[in-house]
Amino acid sequence: MSAVLTSALLEIKGLSAGYGEVPVLRGIDLVIHPGEIVTLVGSNGAGKTTLLRAVSRIINGSGTLRFDGQDISHATPEQVFARGLVQVPEGRQLFDRMSVENNLRMGTYCRRDKDGIAESFERVYQLFPRLKERCTQIAGSMSGGEQQMCAIARALMAAPKLLVVDEMSLGLAPVVVDQLLGVLTEIRKQGITVLLVEQDVFAAFSVADRGYLMETGQIVREGRVSELSEDPEVQRAYLGVQ
Q: What is the pLDDT of residues 121-177, one digit of tens each?
A: 999 999 999 999 999 999 999 999 999 999 999 999 999 999 999 989 988 999 999
Q: Which domains does the chain have, with CATH numbers?
A: 1-84+160-242 (3.40.50.300), 94-159 (no CATH)
User: Which long-range contacts does 114-119 make (Cβ < 8 Å, 24+ apart)?
Assistant: 116/159, 117/157
pLDDT above 70 as % of the chain: 96
Which tens digit of pLDDT belongs to each residue from 68-85? Answer: 999 999 999 999 999 999
Maximum separation of any 2 CA atoms in the chain, in Å: 55
- Note the pTM of the prediction, 2 decimals: 0.91
Question: What is the per-residue pLDDT for 238?
Answer: 78
**pLDDT tens, 47-67?**
999 999 999 999 999 999 999
- Element of type H or E holding 29: strand 22-32
* CB neighbour list of residue 165: distance below 8 Å, 6 or more residues apart: 87, 88, 152, 155, 184, 194, 195, 196, 197
The answer to whether 157 and 104 are in contact (CB under 8 A) is yes
Chain-centroid distance of CA 197 in Å reads 6
CA proximity to 214, closest of 177, 166, 171: 166
